[in-house]
């Protein structure tokens, strides 16, 4: 069932009667109703008012591959080609990994909706239709897996940079989250395949809350932020996507040649938990300490009761436990 024409009809945020929609699309009232249900199943809220018709409150800007492509810097377009924009998919990371298996070295995919969006540690990434950005980039690195240390932090910095002109209260949280006003705005998911010492294909997924509907709060299960709420609802997802992609490719090119070290000071200046007591959970193991920054490879520096340690991975949370002694 192709519901794109109906979505385009409702995208203006105005009320349209079922009869007018049917006449415009050349379909029956019953077909209009079935398509409405299919759109609602994607998580789109459609209001129905007797005597007025149907409306998507606030309207809807659909992602447009041509618009995004036109806003990419020439060197970015040369690196990635035309973005692949999908109506609905299971997971953009899965799509990019499948593309990697065909031998493609670089690729960019975005989707309006993910049926099986994934966050870190197997968590669900809530992905309602047409409201946020869900995109994944495939990039081939030539120097082995060890050279990828700090990559997730660099991806988070790319998102932060792209948003600084929109809002200055953007920060990062180790190892790869982006925060706005102290709440999670975006997350990064990396998946790697390839040779320990040779070429590695890395899929980097970004989920960025552009205009997350409040009714998804329970499913998200933690405080979250979105760009639209901070800007009175005024946000173009196509512009936002292009800004993120441009910064993303710029930092990847820099990282590929010089590693994480040139980004360390920027990360330290942007880290929202630097200097605070935190706890790091890795599986069943919990480590407490004071966040002392990151090293030249992007590993967390943690001052504990037994001295400073480095942490390569885990879930960082602010600690409410009192310091020993």
Contacts of 130 (CB under 8 A, 6+ apart): 7, 42, 44, 60, 61, 62, 63, 112, 113
User: Rounded distance, CA 114 to CA 135, Å?
Assistant: 10
Known active-site residue 120: yes
Rounded to 5 degrees, what are φ and ψ at 239?
-65, -45
Work out the end-to-end distance of the chain between its first and last CA atoms, rounded to an integer number of angstroms: 65
Known active-site residue 321: yes
In terms of Cα–Cα distance, which of 119, 136, 179, 150 is closest to 255?
Answer: 150
Contacts of 62 (CB under 8 A, 6+ apart): 4, 7, 8, 11, 112, 130
Letter string b/e over residues 165-184, b meaning 16 or more CB atoms within 10 A of that residue's CB? eeeeebbbbbbbbbbbeeeb
Residue 3 falls in which region: left (phi positive, over 0), alpha (psi -120 to 50) or beta? alpha
User: Rounded distance, CA 60 to CA 237, Å?
Assistant: 10
- Catalytic-labelled residue, pool 34, 184, 277, 290: 184
Known active-site residue 237: no
**Contact between residue 122 and residue 102 where contact means Cβ atoms under 8 Å apart:** no
* C-beta atoms surrounding 320 within 10 Å: 7
Secondary structure (3-state) at 261: helix
**CB neighbour class for 143 (10 Å; exposed up to 12, middle 13-18, buried from 19):** middle
- Catalytic-labelled residue, pool 120, 234, 281, 299: 120
Query: Given the structure tokens 């995109």, which residue do they identify?
Result: 135
Tell me which residues are annotated as active site.
120, 184, 321
């Amino acid at each position: 069932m192709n519901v794109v024409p109906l979505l385009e009809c409702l995208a203006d945020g105005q009320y349209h009667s079922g009869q007018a929609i049917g006449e415009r699309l050349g379909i029956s009232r019953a077909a209009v109703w079935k398509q409405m249900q299919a759109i609602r199943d994607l998580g789109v809220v459609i209001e129905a008012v007797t005597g007025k018709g149907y409306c998507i409150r606030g309207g809807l800007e659909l992602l447009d591959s041509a618009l995004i492509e036109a806003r990419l810097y020439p060197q970015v377009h040369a690196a990635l080609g035309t973005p692949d924009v999908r109506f609905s998919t299971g997971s953009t990371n899965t799509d990019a990994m499948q593309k990697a298996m065909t031998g493609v070295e670089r690729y960019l995919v975005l989707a309006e909706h993910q049926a099986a969006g994934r966050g870190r540690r197997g968590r669900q990434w809530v992905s309602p239709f047409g409201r946020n950005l869900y995109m994944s980039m495939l990039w081939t690195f030539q120097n082995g897996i060890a050279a990828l240390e700090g990559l997730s932090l660099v991806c988070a910095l790319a998102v932060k940079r792209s948003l600084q002109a929109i809002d200055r209260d953007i920060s990062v949280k180790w190892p790869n989250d982006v925060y706005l006003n102290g709440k999670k705005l975006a997350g990064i998911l990396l998946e790697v395949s390839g040779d320990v010492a040779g070429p590695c294909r890395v899929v980097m997924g970004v989920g960025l809350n552009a205009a997350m509907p409040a009714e998804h709060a329970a499913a998200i299960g933690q405080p979250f932020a979105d760009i639209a709420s901070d800007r009175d609802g005024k946000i173009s997802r196509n512009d936002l996507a292009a800004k993120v992609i441009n910064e993303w490719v710029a930092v990847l090119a820099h990282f590929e040649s010089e590693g994480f070290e040139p980004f360390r000071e920027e990360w330290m200046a942007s880290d929202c938990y630097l200097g605070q007591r935190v706890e790091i959970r890795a599986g069943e193991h919990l480590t407490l300490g004071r966040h002392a920054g990151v090293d030249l490879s992007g590993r967390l520096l943690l001052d504990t009761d037994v001295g400073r340690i480095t942490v390569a991975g885990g879930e960082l949370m602010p600690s409410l436990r009192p310091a020993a002694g």
